[in-house]
A and B are shown apart, each in its own frame.
Chain A
């Protein structure tokens, strides 16, 4: 039934900019403080107070604009969006309306089936957040917490160019990765640092004009976005097929019921009476501002991914994993740069042992108890055959617990591989005389028995024998006797 319908999806994402203070006041933005403890006179909209723009928020918006290849207007304007609500202290929200700071740009990402998805962006604009209404905190009253009021947001608006929940989620994940990568947002979706409104419409054929859209507000996890879109597409197709008219409306996603429900229709839509905020002069950007932002721009995740696969020879999968977060990519870079030619080894350890440990301890890469240089120290001992991969895992565990270096642990516990020909030859002579039958079989060309003898040798050397060297010496020993 859905085959003949095309869904059209556009996303509006509110990215909370990670500034120390609010966008128009000096109050702190930290999450989770006691209600109304991070509220300046400006945030509470006391009479006579005035907004003053935080340049830190502008700088972060610029970084985003450059990263998505958007055009950055030399002059953008803050406007007032007027409406009454108890958690909106001024009775208007300061936002950008006709002249946003970033226009256009795009985001490219890979879908699970390998297809490349390019999402065009309409705009990104700066605005302030509202406070919070606490409806359940008091009996027969609503509490107002203004801690969040004035927190800087970058609203990123995509074109209506996606056609499935899968595409929308892939775009959202790519955006989430990018804003964290750029260091402009902590990406914490539970705390509301990255919030999504979804616009969905359906049409019979891709050449038809756009259908009437519904906007689903505040869908705040990737899974909910996927479910809300899927529900909405199905609802609209069903309504169309039953000859019902889709009304333009705002809907809410009910996560418990996995459905969307109507919040208000277009007829109830507010007239926000936007006009330029006379308290804030137009934001003017100089070439120097743009230069500074360009200089501060890190290598972008896509370029980093490409370098990891092409220059370092990593698999696309490993490169994707390593570039999920800039801190992880940087950690990996720090490890592999001291181990030329061993990028794969470094990737395996960062994504394997280290990632598992971090996950168990619920730590992020920046909190790792083993620094990149310490891990590089361990991998160096694997690369030069001082220890085996198996012993390395034990050393890693000790490093994690004690904070000591790999070399210190290897020395202290005598874990260095036996690479001494004489010592290994003695062990070989002993094992061959202990297992004469097996030795004879191998000498006779029965290669299947080789693993058994190697196993015995490893046991005799407590696993410290260098396997490659051991093989060579064993071959020599058998030939010599023959």
Chain B
């Protein structure tokens, strides 16, 4: 077994310094990824490894990483988990891709994901479902399921993700790793294939909060090519990890522990809160009364934007194109019928409907009003607390196929994550226990631009607990999935 399996960034850094061939060591990460495919199916593309061109002193020099397959990578196929883009090779790099390359990180895999980031189980990928390293009968979560599974399986020390309604935090929780979604506007969206533009934000999945900070430090910052990225000084995220929780006011929102949350999961999270309190944190009961409205609001706004964002996949310029269409309308309908999967089509239809004349006010406009109310709830709460804590998900990872017949049940499970996107806030999920031998996630939410508070709380928690060091059971000797 590779000695670097389960190593964090610092582990890799030390090994790379000592290794006779850093490139060979980095390549061993890809070998692990390749070997994991049969069990996890977490990779869509294993690219040829780039020879290191960075200065050896670069922040992530030689560190291997997996890149969610919706970040455009120049010359490397980028599919967004869709048949529509199954042969698409971008001629340019996403800003996140370019910044990671500049920092010396080495891309070893484009990771599997729900098609166009639409999904919470990674079962919506045109390249097959990703399996959870803790139990290959179970989902990895989604939509950044491949990234979470690869970090959980110890293949890479970190991976990128994107989070529109929980797509970094939820799979991180299901796979027992740390997943961080920054404030909307903190990381450039340029080159990150859009699902819902006003909600999408790039994030990081790693072994612990400190490594999330390490990577965020490299990818964050204003980008003139993204008008929604914000020009403001970059905080020292790494230093924030040493701030501790003494005196930190931690809001506990009743609504995040609603009836839908499994008692055993709630118990893990309450135990984590007690440990934070013991470490000097101050627990404060708060209310987020409009939180239950976040699911309907999210499932109007996100599909509305998606229906427009995905209009460009028309078979005219790139991507899948239906054969032998007899006219333009047929070219469009056949290309899109063949190229998109069921969940994507469902959201395009919903989005088209809620934007239609006569329905716009009742759905889209109303959802935007709700969105503002939810943001107000958070703003009011943050007047009194530094972070807000609760379970990331109502339950642990479910079984493959368990929820596919009932999309509404699947949507409802996003209850604790989507409100954060509607309000554009930073949030992290850290492992805080096991239920049925499956990981449970503690979510810590910060105020806008309050990444440092979130990281301080998460790093402090991880300094006094070892849930983030738990490893999934070794795969069965045969290693064969069913």
Contacts and interface: CB of A to CB of B under 8 A. Distances in A.
B90 A275 contact: no
Contacts of A280: 227-228
Given A84-B311, A92-B308, A278-B197, A46 B90 contact: yes
Interface in B147-197: 189-194, 196-197
A279 B188 CA distance: 11
B211 to A, nearest CB: 25
Interface stretch (A48-56, A226-234, A351-359, A463-471): A48-56
Contacts of B318: 46
A149 to B, nearest CB: 11
A144 B331 CA distance: 15
B427 interface: no
Given A47-B72, A86-B328, A273 B355 contact: yes
Interface string B123-154: 00000000000000000000000000000000
A49 B311 contact: no
B316 A51 contact: no
A138 B312 CA distance: 24
Contacts of B355: 82, 273-275
A45 B190 CA distance: 12
A274 B317 CA distance: 24
Nearest to A279: B197
B258 interface: no
Contacts of B85: 47
B451 interface: no
A52 B225 contact: yes
A47 B314 CA distance: 12
B332 A48 contact: no
Given A275-B355, A275-B360, A47 B193 contact: yes
Query: Among the interface residues A89, A90, A275, A279, which one has the most CB atoms of the partner chain B within 10 A?
Result: A275
A45 B317 contact: yes
B57 interface: no
Contacts of B356: 271, 273
A48 B94 contact: yes
Interface residues of B, number: 44
Given A45-B317, A48-B90, A278-B305, A84 B332 contact: yes
B197 A51 contact: no
Contacts of B94: 48
Query: Among the interface residues B91, B307, B311, which one has the most CB atoms of the partner chain A within 10 A?
Result: B311
Interface in B225-274: 225-228
A291 B143 CA distance: 48
Given A50-B225, A52-B224, A84-B314, A275 B308 contact: yes
B308 A273 contact: yes
A403 interface: no
Interface string B346-371: 00000010011100100010000000
B470 interface: no
Contact of B352 (A89, A92, A273): A273
Interface string B302-316: 001101101110101
Contacts of A275: 304, 308, 355, 360, 364
Interface string A32-60: 00000000010011111111110000000
A273 B350 CA distance: 13
A51 B364 CA distance: 23
B417 to A, nearest CB: 19
Interface in B192-239: 192-194, 196-198, 224-228
A41 B192 CA distance: 13
Contacts of B91: 41, 46
A91 interface: yes
A480 B385 CA distance: 114
A202 B39 CA distance: 73
B227 A90 contact: no
A273 B304 CA distance: 10
B316 A48 contact: no
Interface in B67-104: 70-72, 78, 80, 85, 88, 90-92, 94
Given A84-B332, A275-B364, A279-B227, A47 B308 contact: no
B348 to A, nearest CB: 11
Contact of B80 (A47, A84, A91, A274): A47
A82 B305 CA distance: 11
Interface string A59-86: 0000000000000000000001010101
B190 A47 contact: no
B193 A48 contact: yes
A43 to B, nearest CB: 11
A80 to B, nearest CB: 5
Contacts of A80: 308
Contacts of B357: 271, 273
Interface in A278-296: 278-281
B312 A45 contact: yes
A86 B321 CA distance: 13
B226 A44 contact: no
B197 A86 contact: no
Contacts of A273: 307-308, 352, 355-357, 360
A279 B316 contact: no
A71 to B, nearest CB: 25
A223 B352 CA distance: 42
A49 B90 CA distance: 11
B147 to A, nearest CB: 17
A232 B321 CA distance: 42
Contact of B227 (A89, A92, A274, A281): A281
B191 A82 contact: no
Given A82-B308, A278-B305, A48 B192 contact: yes
Interface string A122-153: 00000000000000000000001000000000
Contact of B311 (A48, A52, A91, A278): A91
Interface in A14-46: 41, 44-46
A127 to B, nearest CB: 16
A48 B228 contact: no
Interface string B277-318: 000000000000000000000000000110110111010111
Contacts of A47: 72, 78, 80, 85, 88, 90, 193-194, 312
A275 B355 CA distance: 7
Interface in B374-414: none
Nearest to B328: A86
Contact of A278 (B78, B198, B307, B328): B198
A51 B227 contact: yes
A51 B91 CA distance: 17
Nearest to A52: B227
Contacts of A50: 189-190, 225-228
Interface string A87-112: 00111100000000000000000000
Nearest to B229: A50
Interface of A: 41, 44-53, 80, 82, 84, 86, 89-92, 144, 271, 273-275, 278-281
19 contacts: A46-B91, A46-B92, A47-B72, A47-B80, A48-B94, A48-B193, A48-B194, A50-B190, A50-B225, A52-B224, A52-B225, A52-B227, A84-B332, A90-B312, A92-B308, A273-B307, A273-B308, A279-B194, A280-B227
- Top 4 closest A-B pairs, CB basis? A91-B311, A278-B198, A278-B197, A273-B355
Given A47-B88, A90-B312, 9 more contacts: A48-B72, A49-B190, A53-B227, A89-B316, A144-B317, A273-B357, A278-B197, A278-B228, A281-B227
Interface of B: 70-72, 78, 80, 85, 88, 90-92, 94, 189-194, 196-198, 224-228, 304-305, 307-308, 310-312, 314, 316-318, 328, 332, 352, 355-357, 360, 364
